[in-house]
Amino acid sequence: MDKHVLLIEDEMNIIEAIRFLLSREGWQVDTHSDGLTAVDAIRQMRPNLVILDYMLPGKNGLDILTELREDGDFLELPVLMLTARGQSRDREMAEKAGVSRFMTKPFSNTEVVTAVRDLVQLAR
Amino acid sequence: MASVNQLIGVSLGYVVFLFAVAFFAERAAVRGRRGWLGSPMVYTLSLSIYCTAWTFYGAVGYAARSGMEFVTIYLGPSLVMIGWWWILRKLVRIGRAQRATSVADLISARYGKSNLLAVVVTVMAVIGVTPYIALQLQSVTLSLSVFSGPVGENSFNQPGAAFWIAVGLALFTVLFGTRNLNANERHDGVVIAIAVEAVVKLVALMAVGIFVVWGIAGGIGPMMERIDASPIGEWNIDRSRWIALTALSAAAFLCLPRMFQVMVVENQDERHLQIASWAFPLYLLLMSLFVVPIAVIGLDLMPAGANPDLFVLTVPLAEGRVGLATLSFLGGFSSATSMVIVATLALATMVSNHVVMPLWLSMREEGATVSGDVRDVVILARRASILVIIGLGYLYYRFSGGGAALAAIGLISFVGVAQFLPSMLGGIFWRGATRSGALTGLIVGFAVWVYCSLLPSFGPGSIYSLSMFENGPWGIASLRPEALFGIAGLDPTVHAVVWSLTLNTFAFLVVSLLSFPGPLERLQGAQFVNVFDHSTQTRGWDAAFATSEDLMIMSQRILGSEEAQNLFRAEARRQGVRGHLPEPTQAFLQQLERELAASVGSATAHAMISQLVGGASVSVQDLMAVADESAQILEYSNRLEAKSAELSRTALKLREANEKLTALSVQKDAFLSQISHELRTPMTSIRSFTEILRDTEGLGHVEKNKYATIIHGETIRLTRLLDDLLDLSVLENGQVNLNVETGRLSDVLEQAVVTAQAAATGPVAIKRRHLDEAILLTTDLDRLSQVFINLITNAQKYCDASAPELTIDVRNVNGAVSVVFADNGTPIAVQSRAVIFEKFARIDDSEGSGAGLGLAICREIMTRLGGDIRYEPAATGNAFVVDLPAPEALAAQ
C-alpha cells in the first residue's frame, strides 16, 4: 500500500476535513492527536506521507520533525507541515529542520490535495 | 660734576665688591657654615627686589605726576605680608614640599605636572617681564646720562652703555646663578648680593631724603609746610584706581617670577616668613618715607620740564652734592641690577626646565636617562637662557625707544604677571581646579592683557592705529582696546586689570567646573590644598650614618636595579669616586630622594632615606606623612572601586531591564502566535468545509447538514473568541464602566447556574451549600455573574470524573465572603497551576473550544471589582475561590 497518510493533528474538525479530501483521492488516512507519541506512531505505522500540525499537545511539530529527520530511516519521508501560527520565522525553522512542504492555515483544499500528490510523486 | 668715567669706575668697584660678597657667601654655604647668612634678615632684605629702579627712581616721578597714588605700590605687598602671610606660608610650604623651582613649575605641578601649562606660564612670564628688564637697563643708562651733563652736549653713548651693562649683568647671573645645580635651585651668593644691594638702596634713598628735608627744606616743620602747599600733598583719591592698583601690586607681589624665586625657592626656613611679615612692610615704609619730600622739593627746585623720575639724582647734583648723588646712583644701580639678576635667573630656570630641556630630551633618540651629560646640558641651557633673556630685554630697550614713563611699563608688566594669580591661588585652595581650567584662564587673561594693555602701551600710530582706539577693530566699538564691551571712561590700567582678571578668573572657574581632573591632578590637588597635613617644616639629614650600600639596595627596590645602578654610577663618576658607589653627600641624598619621590611620593621617600641616614630616626611626623600619602592613594583607589561598583550595579540594572524587555517581547510574540492560532484554526475548518460543500458533487443530505453544523459551530467559536479578546483588552487596558447595583448573592448565583446549564456541553450535577439569602452585595452584579458562569462552564467542559459534580459553597468568615466552586475532576498538574489565570493558558491535554481566555477575564474582573480569584487544590478535584469585594473596597469604588 503506497497511499498511506498519517495526519498528526489535534483539531477534530480539521481532521474531519482532511480525511474527507484525501479519502476521495484514494488515500488511507490514519490520525494521531498527541505530540509526545507522534514519532513513535510514525515509526510504527510507516506511512508514505505525514501531515504534521505545528501546535500539538505535548510536543510541537518542529521538534517532532527534527527528531524524525535525526532517524536515518525517515530522511526521505515526505512531511507536509501545517501551521496556524503565521510567523515567517516558523517557516525558516521548519525548512532548516527538513520539512518537505510548509503551509499556513487556513489552506485551500485544492492546495492540500495537489501538495500531497506532488510530494508522493517526488518521493517516487 | 663727576665724570661718567669716574662713575663707571665706582660702579665697577661696587660690582667687584658684590662679586666678592657673593663668592664668599657661596663658599661658606658649600662648607655648611651659613651662620648669619641664613638669617631671617637676609631673607627679608632679599624680598626687597620688589623695589626695583621703578620704585627707586619711579616712585618720586610717580608722586610728582600723580600725587599720593604711588603709595598703592607699597600698600599691596604690605597688605599681603601682614594680612595674608598665611597664603605666603602655604605657598612656601607647597613650594618646598614640591621642590618647585619657579612659578611655572609650581602651577604645572599642581595641575598634574602638565608641561604644556609650564610652557604657557613660561612664555607669559617672559613676555610680561622682558619690558621690565628693559626698564632697568633704561634707568641705569638714564641715570648715567644725568652725570654726563645736559643731553646732547657730549657724546655719551646711551645704547652702548646699556649694552655693556647688559653684558655685565648677564655675566654675574651666569656666574652665580648657574654655578651649581642643586636640588633646591638655591643661590646663596646671589641672595647675599641682593641683600647687600637692598641695604645700599635703602641707605641711598634715605640719605637723599634726609638731605632734602634737613639740608634744603630746613627741618620737618618747614618741609611739611612745603608739602601742604604742593598739589602732591592733596589726597586726591580716585577710588577705583586706588583699589585696582593696590590689588594689582598685591597680586604681582605673589606672582612675579623674581618674587617667587626669593620668597619660595630661596627660602631656607619657613619661620623666616614670620619675621619678614613685619620687617618687609617696615622696609617698604622706610623706602616710601621720603618719596613725597623729594618729589615736592624737586618740583620746586628743578626747572620745568625736568624728568621727575630722576629727581633722586638731579636734586643732589643741583645742590652740588656729588658724593650724595653718587650714593644715590649706586642705590638706583642696585635696584636695577638686583631685579635683573633675579628676574633673569627665575625666567632662565623656567625657560631651560620647561622649554629647552623637554625639547632637547625629545630630540635625543635614547630618551631621558639620568647621567652626567644631562647635567651639563641643563647648565648650558640655563646659561643660554640667561643670555637670551637679558638680550631680549636689551633689544626691547633699543626698539621701544625708551620713551615711556617708567611707572607705566612697571604697571603693564604687573598686570601681565598678575594673570597667574587665579590659577595659583585656585590651585592651592581649591581641589576642584583643573588643568583645563588653569590653561583656559591663563590664556584668556593673557590675551586680554596683550590686547588691552601691552599693545595699546606703544601708543596710537605704532601697533594700533588711532582709529583702533577710537572706533575699535573693524569699527566694532565694543572691542575698543581701552573700552572693552562698551565700558568706557575707566582708567586704562583699571580697565585692563578688571577685564583681564575677571575674564581670567571666570574662565578658570567655569572650565574647572566643567572639566574632569586626571588622577595625577587629583593627587597633586590634594597635596597642594592640604599641604599642611602632609608635609613637615624643614628637612635635611646628617649624612654621617648613611652607607651607600644600604641606599643602593633600597633604591634598587624602588627604581628597579638598572635605573638605580645608572643613578649611582653617574653620581660616583661626578664625584670622581672609583667604582659604582658614590659618597652619600647631602646633594646626592637630596637627588636620591627626589628620584624616589617620583615613584613612592615625597613623604615616603623622605622617611625611607632618613631611616637609612639617621639610623632609626624616623619621626612620628614622617610616619604620619607616609600614612597620609598611603591614605590618599587608598582614598583614590577606594573612590575608583566605588565607581566601578556603581558601574557594575548600573550594568546589572541595564541587564535586568533588557531581560525584562526581552521577556516582554517574547511574551508579546507568544501572545500574537496564540491569537493567530486561535483565529486561524476555526477559519481553517470553515474554509475547508465551505469548499467541500461548494466543490463536491453529489454530497448526501446528512453530510451537508453535518458540515454546515461544523461551520456554524466554528463561526460561533470565532465570535466568542473575538468577544473574549475585546473584553479582556478593555478590562486590562481600558476604562471599564462598572454598573454598580445592590442585590442578593443567592440570586446572582442562581441566575449564573441557570444560564450555564442552558448552554451546557456536559452533564454536571450542581450542589449548593450555605447559600445565605441575607448576603447583600453592592457591585457590578452582571460582571460577577460572568465570573460565576465562566467557572461553572469550565467545570462542565473539563471535569473528567465519571460522575461529574460541582459544589458551590459560600464561606463567610467575619463578613469576608468567598464563593468556592469545587469539582471532583483530576486536579490540575502542579506546574500548570501557576499559569491558569494567564491568557491562552489552556492546559495541554485539554480539549474543547475554549481559547484559554476565560480565567484571565475572570481575574481581571475580580481585580476591577476589588475582590480576588484563586485556585485551591481540593481534596478530590479542583476548587476556584472567588473572594467577593469587601464592603469597604466597594465603598471606595
CA B204 to chain centre: 47
Please name the residue ranges forming H helices in B211-256. 220-229, 239-255
pLDDT of B30 strictly over 80: no
- Can you tell me the distance from the alpha carbon of B186 to that of B261, in angstroms, rounded to the nearest whole number? 9
pLDDT per residue as tens digits for the range B746-785: 888 888 888 888 877 667 788 888 777 678 888 888 888 8
Beta bridge partners of B460: B464
* C-alpha torsion B134→B140→B141→B147, nearest 10: 160
- Can you tell me the distance from the alpha carbon of A42 to that of B460, in angstroms, rounded to the nearest whole number? 107
Which 8-state DSSP code applies to residue B321? -
pLDDT of residue A28: 92
Burial class (CB in 10 A: 0-12, 13-18, 19+), B501: buried
Q: Is residue B624 part of a domain?
A: no
pLDDT per residue as tens digits for the range B422-450: 888 888 888 778 888 888 998 899 888 88
Q: Is residue B758 part of a domain?
A: yes
The radius of gyration of chain B from alpha carbons, rounded to an integer in Å, stands at: 48
Single-letter amino acid code for the residue at B44: T
Task: Compute the average pLDDT of residues B397-403.
Answer: 66
Location of C-alpha cell 490535495: A113
pLDDT of A12 strictly over 70: yes
Q: Is residue B455 part of a domain?
A: no
pLDDT of residue B766: 82
The whole-angstrom distance between A74's CA and the closest CA on chain B is 27
Task: Compute the average pLDDT of residues B617-628.
Answer: 54
| Per-residue cell: B540 | 635635611
A113 touches chain B (CB under 8 A): no
Task: Compute the average pLDDT of residues B372-385.
Answer: 73
- Can you tell me the distance from the alpha carbon of B318 to that of B299, in angstroms, rounded to the nearest whole number? 12
Reported as type and span, the H/E element at residue B610 is helix B602-613
Residue of A nearest to B848 (CA): A11
Q: What angle do CA B371, B375, B377 make, to 5 degrees?
A: 115
pLDDT of residue B157: 61
pLDDT of A49 strictly over 50: yes
Verify that B806 and B887 share a domain, yes or no: yes
The whole-angstrom distance between B781's CA and the closest CA on chain A is 36
pLDDT of A50 strictly over 90: yes
B128, B349 Cβ separation under 8 angstroms:
no
Verify that B717 and B777 share a domain, yes or no: no
Task: Compute the average pLDDT of residues A98-116.
Answer: 91
Beta bridge partners of B19: none
Nearest to B687 among A16, A21, A106 (CB): A106
| Per-residue cell: B691 | 469548499
pLDDT of B544 strictly over 70: no
Nearest to A109 among B688, B714, B844 (CB): B688
pLDDT of residue B402: 54
Enumerate the domain spans of chain A. Answer: 4-123
Q: What CATH number should be reported for the domain holding residue B763?
A: 3.30.565.10
Q: Is residue B607 part of a domain?
A: yes
- Can you tell me the distance from the alpha carbon of A83 to that of A92, in angstroms, rounded to the nearest whole number? 13
Q: Is residue B468 part of a domain?
A: no
- Is A14–B684 a contact, with Cβ atoms under 8 angstroms apart? yes
A36 touches chain B (CB under 8 A): no
The whole-angstrom distance between A44's CA and the closest CA on chain B is 23
When pLDDT is cut at 50, 70 and 90, the band that residue B374 belongs to is low
pLDDT of residue B889: 43
pLDDT of B824 strictly over 80: yes
pLDDT of residue B158: 64
- Is A17–B683 a contact, with Cβ atoms under 8 angstroms apart? no
Range with the poorest average pLDDT among B133-137, B338-342, B520-524, B697-701: B520-524
**By a Cβ cutoff of 8 Å, what residues of chain B touch chain A?**
669, 672-673, 676-677, 679-689, 691-692, 695-696, 710, 713-714, 844-845, 847
Cα–Cα separations (whole angstroms), residue A73 to A42, B213, B658? 11, 131, 44
- Can you tell me the distance from the alpha carbon of B715 to that of B813, in angstroms, rounded to the nearest whole number? 44
Reported as type and span, the H/E element at residue B555 is helix B548-559
A120 touches chain B (CB under 8 A): no
Q: Is residue B71 part of a domain?
A: yes
The whole-angstrom distance between A48's CA and the closest CA on chain B is 23
Residue of B nearest to A33 (CA): B845
The whole-angstrom distance between A72's CA and the closest CA on chain B is 30
| Per-residue cell: B404 | 615711556
Residue of A nearest to B670 (CA): A85
Domain housing B657: 629-723
Interhelix angle B4-30/B322-350, nearest 10 degrees: 50
pLDDT of residue B74: 85
pLDDT per residue as tens digits for the range A20-45: 999 998 999 999 988 889 999 999 99
Verify that B221 and B317 share a domain, yes or no: yes
ipTM of the complex as predicted:
0.93
pLDDT per residue as tens digits for the range B444-472: 998 888 888 877 776 666 666 666 666 66
Verify that B268 and B295 share a domain, yes or no: yes
Task: Report phi then psi at A50, rounded to 5.
Answer: -120, 130
The three state secondary structure string of B3-63 is CHHHHHHHHHHHHHHHHHHHHHHHHHHHCCCCHHHHCHHHHHHHHHHHCCHHHHHHHHHHH
A56, A23 Cβ separation under 8 angstroms:
no
Task: Compute the average pLDDT of residues B647-662.
Answer: 87
- Is B844–A58 a contact, with Cβ atoms under 8 angstroms apart? yes
pLDDT of residue B687: 93
pLDDT of B846 strictly over 50: no
Verify that B613 and B635 share a domain, yes or no: no
Please name the residue ranges forming H helices in B697-824. 701-733, 745-758, 781-798
Q: What angle do CA B44, B206, B393 make, to 5 degrees?
A: 65
Verify that B305 and B171 share a domain, yes or no: yes
Out of B564, B596, B618, a domain closes at B618
Task: Compute the average pLDDT of residues B839-866.
Answer: 72
When pLDDT is cut at 50, 70 and 90, the band that residue B120 belongs to is confident
Q: What CATH number should be reported for the domain holding residue B660?
A: 1.10.287.130
Verify that B289 and B375 share a domain, yes or no: yes
Beta bridge partners of A31: A7
pLDDT of residue B671: 77
When pLDDT is cut at 50, 70 and 90, the band that residue B547 belongs to is low
Which 8-state DSSP code applies to residue B837? T
pLDDT of residue B369: 46
Question: Which tops the pLDDT comparison, B597 or B290?
Answer: B290
Task: Compute the average pLDDT of residues B571-587.
Answer: 76
Name, of B299-308, B687-696, B755-764, the range with top average pLDDT: B687-696
Q: Domain A4-123 carries which CATH code? A: 3.40.50.2300
Question: Which tops the pLDDT comparison, B269 or B725?
Answer: B725
pLDDT per residue as tens digits for the range B133-182: 888 888 888 787 777 665 444 445 666 777 887 888 888 778 777 765 54
Task: Compute the average pLDDT of residues B550-567.
Answer: 74
pLDDT of residue A47: 92
Question: Which tops the pLDDT comparison, B521 or B544?
Answer: B521
**Helix, strand, or coil here: A40?**
helix
- Can you tell me the distance from the alpha carbon of B90 to that of B97, in angstroms, rounded to the nearest whole number? 10
Instruction: Provide the pairing of β-strand B877-883 with B868-874.
Output: antiparallel
| Per-residue cell: B214 | 634737613
- Is A84–B684 a contact, with Cβ atoms under 8 angstroms apart? yes
B426, B512 Cβ separation under 8 angstroms:
yes
B373, B283 Cβ separation under 8 angstroms:
no
Range with the poorest average pLDDT among A75-84, B320-329, B788-797: B320-329
Whose CA is closest to B202, among B266, B133, B282? B282
Q: What is the largest CA-CA distance in chain A?
A: 36
pLDDT of residue A52: 93
pLDDT of B892 strictly over 60: no
Question: Percent of chain B at pLDDT above 90?
Answer: 3
B685, A14 Cβ separation under 8 angstroms:
yes
B345, B187 Cβ separation under 8 angstroms:
yes
pLDDT of residue B526: 72
pLDDT of A18 strictly over 90: yes
Task: Compute the average pLDDT of residues B810-835.
Answer: 82
When pLDDT is cut at 50, 70 and 90, the band that residue A65 belongs to is very high
The whole-angstrom distance between B685's CA and the closest CA on chain A is 6
Whose CA is closest to B412, among B321, B332, B481, B355? B481
pLDDT of B290 strictly over 70: yes
- Can you tell me the distance from the alpha carbon of B309 to that of B326, in angstroms, rounded to the nearest whole number? 16
- Can you tell me the distance from the alpha carbon of B431 to that of B506, in angstroms, rounded to the nearest whole number? 17
When pLDDT is cut at 50, 70 and 90, the band that residue B541 belongs to is very low
| Per-residue cell: B21 | 660678597
When pLDDT is cut at 50, 70 and 90, the band that residue A1 belongs to is low
Verify that B710 and B568 share a domain, yes or no: no
- Can you tell me the distance from the alpha carbon of B11 to that of B200, in angstroms, rounded to the nearest whole number? 13
- The number of helix segments (H) and strand segments (E) in chain A equals 5, 5
When pLDDT is cut at 50, 70 and 90, the band that residue A16 belongs to is very high
The rounded mean pLDDT for chain B is 77
Q: Is residue B322 part of a domain?
A: yes
Verify that B206 and B258 share a domain, yes or no: yes
Q: What CATH number should be reported for the domain holding residue B20?
A: 1.20.1730.10
Question: Which tops the pLDDT comparison, B154 or B210?
Answer: B210
- Can you tell me the distance from the alpha carbon of B52 to that of B39, in angstroms, rounded to the nearest whole number? 23
- Can you tell me the distance from the alpha carbon of B805 to that of B544, in angstroms, rounded to the nearest whole number? 108
- Can you tell me the distance from the alpha carbon of B22 to that of B25, in angstroms, rounded to the nearest whole number? 5
Domain count, chain B: 4
Range with the poorest average pLDDT among B31-45, B121-135, B716-730: B31-45
Verify that B116 and B198 share a domain, yes or no: yes
When pLDDT is cut at 50, 70 and 90, the band that residue A79 belongs to is very high
Verify that B805 and B830 share a domain, yes or no: yes
Residue of A nearest to B846 (CA): A57
pLDDT of residue B811: 85
pLDDT of B537 strictly over 50: no
Instruction: Provide the pairing of β-strand B816-823 with A28-32.
Output: unpaired
- Can you tell me the distance from the alpha carbon of A50 to that of A44, in angstroms, rounded to the nearest whole number? 13
Out of B593, B618, B643, a domain closes at B618
A15, A9 Cβ separation under 8 angstroms:
yes
CA neighbours within 13 Å on the CB side: how many for B661? 6
Cα–Cα separations (whole angstroms), residue B513 to B116, B431, B435, B438, B508? 20, 11, 11, 11, 9
pLDDT per residue as tens digits for the range B59-115: 888 787 777 778 888 888 888 888 777 788 888 888 877 777 788 888 887 887 777
